[in-house]
Structure 1
């Protein structure tokens, strides 16, 4: 297995270049049907057959927009004012459903044989090649998305879709943790600190992300182990620690504490994605008590992407939506709301000029980016999911 190498996507930064990486995100899901759906997708790919998708939907040609549009995305992942403005300005009524992992997204599309009725979908980059080969994504009519010109070229032409024929960067981010300094009085700096605190003063007051890769990742990152390891001995040690030592102290498995647990002070120690941490702190009645920590000595980096389902029933509206959200003003609103870098040109400087708050949770230094590593879906997937399920059982979740 390859070592976690320094990250490799060049992203512009005022006065410097910075390394970002071959990205992925939130990769595993506990339900057998979800894992099975992903396995089916992977199995269909090598032979280059027709794949699981059904009859392709109509293609976009710049005609009249349909009256409705559906989106299947991560939870609370767009500024509400941007979504409402789309309908107000362009007409189509928008409905949004959310998923918790790429596996869940893929499984639903596979189970429906590509006819699930969704238009806009938001997969993570690492999954896009398989989705293309299995005919789950519609080829974009880029003439209908002129606002691609507002994207930073560093976030276009990624390895999973070099021509951006099927996808456009939506946002990228990383994983860390936060803690309530009125409850936890010592200084926490590393994943080792997090894991120790969870078993001691934060016992019964700790929340972790509801994602197998993130839960096992904490162990690997804290021990200096490649979190994509397939070494059974290392995985066995991870399982013993997560299930027998950590899980009994976990109070919740929550991927979106920013919309509830953080503002409500439901837990004292939380594993969290950077944008969700920012949302939660900004919504808190006492934001000063919360301390954010970028997981160290290593953590992950992921990138999500706008894409259109191959069977999208409203392709004209879908293209119009992607074009709409790529305007500089809407990109800025989304950065402010979701707390993630959207890949737009000069967005960091624009955000600073506009006085957006807590930008240290949105934009990262080259040194910080060097600690972030991409994940992989590999033969250890079933073990990772098994550890996750055992941890939830041990925690009584």
Structure 2
């Protein structure tokens, strides 16, 4: 299984350190009127994605239904995918690409993407509003949601008797003697530094130096002395009992609960937490646009969306797929947004504020390594 959140965090750090300007989220849509409309049997649809991130059963079913051969190339990091689309400018060789939402503005600004013909995607009407209309592409002109998740905390209820109520109480539990430094936090600035701001009613897009100084002081005094490790994927450590309290992405948290003791629990971060969504994008130069539209619409059908969730463990945003997944283990974690107000989630973004978050994070990691 891929590790997209970790790799995306690394790219965000690299971009932030190098400096980034505010992206243009409202670039003019590129024309769609000349797109071919007929799916050609015998043609090839070439997809660029994380490894093992598309249901093989769906790939086989789509090929059988359309006569289109589908090939999937895997990228090793988000940086690799973003760089390829920005540098090749129409010669990447890919027809369809999976891309983290936070990087969509950069790709639209560099004119690396084509606009979708949404008249060919009626299944869009069935997508959760948690996944659509976000800041990285408010009109979903260039980015069609594929799957996503959020961040929260996992704890062993046999040791921590009172469930964390919010980010502040989660971090307060680090000092509990029964925990004995069996703790971890995500190894990335957006989720870790961001959780201080979310817990204290501060925008994670703040550029005030005093806010970052306060976050750094809080973590240095209250968290780092009790921290075992920065670990974006503590699934195995939680399952073994090496870690009993961890900040975790929904996908990894669910895996820990599936593998570990029955006393493990999970809750979304509060009062706010992040939202990450991967999307389907059309790269400039796509040679099989008709098949790309057909494939995305195929995955927007509830039965096919359910197959995706079973295969990859992430929610696709297709609301009608939930009724087909009633027996899914820990479905409340997969469908993390069910019954949760939309304003609980803060879309992950790469903005000028990220530079300060990364600098703060690096200083905190340096303290731990001393």
TM > 0.5 fold call:
yes
Closer, same or farther: CA 235–107 of 1 in aligned 2, 3 Å: farther
Q: Distance in 2 between matches of 1:98 and 1:155?
A: 25
Q: Among 325, 347, 352, which residue is 2:321 paired with? A: 347
Aligned ranges 1:1-397 → 2 under 5 Å: 28-29=9-10, 33-35=14-16, 39=20, 42=21, 61-64=37-40, 66-67=43-44, 69-73=46-50, 77-83=53-59, 85-86=61-62, 90-99=68-77, 105-110=81-86, 115-125=91-101, 127-142=103-118, 145=121, 147-148=123-124, 151=127, 161=137, 164-200=140-176, 201-202=178-179, 204-243=181-220, 245-247=222-224, 249-258=226-235, 260-282=236-258, 284=259, 286=261, 288-312=262-286, 315=289, 318-348=292-322, 350-351=323-324, 354-361=326-333, 362-366=335-339, 369-396=342-369
Where does structure 2 lack aligned partners over 5 or more consecutive residues?
29-33
Closer, same or farther: CA 177–310 of 1 in aligned 2, 3 Å: same
Where does structure 1 lack aligned partners over 5 or more consecutive residues?
1-24, 50-57
Q: Distance in 1 between matches of 2:57 and 2:19?
A: 34
Closer, same or farther: CA 118–271 of 1 in aligned 2, 3 Å: farther
Q: Deviations over 1:355-375 (max 9, x none)?
A: 333232214454554533345
Shift of 1:318: 3.7
Shift of 1:336: 3.8
Closer, same or farther: CA 382–80 of 1 in aligned 2, 3 Å: same
Secondary structure, in 3 states, of the residue corresponding to 2:278?
strand
> In structure 1, what is the equivalent of residue 31 of structure 2?
none
Q: Given the two structures, how large is their TM-score scaled by the length of structure 2? A: 0.76
Closer, same or farther: CA 133–92 of 1 in aligned 2, 3 Å: same
Closer, same or farther: CA 36–94 of 1 in aligned 2, 3 Å: same
Shift of 1:292: 0.5
- Count of equivalent residues: 355
Task: Say what the alpha-carbon RMSD is for the aligned residues.
Answer: 4.0
Shift of 1:177: 0.7
Closer, same or farther: CA 152–206 of 1 in aligned 2, 3 Å: closer
8 Å contact from structure 2 (residues 131, 277) kept in 1: no
Q: Given the two structures, how large is their TM-score scaled by the length of structure 1? A: 0.72
Q: Distance in 2 between matches of 1:268 and 1:153?
A: 33
8 Å contact from structure 2 (residues 136, 349) kept in 1: no
Closer, same or farther: CA 59–37 of 1 in aligned 2, 3 Å: farther
Secondary structure, in 3 states, of the residue corresponding to 1:135?
coil
Closer, same or farther: CA 72–291 of 1 in aligned 2, 3 Å: same
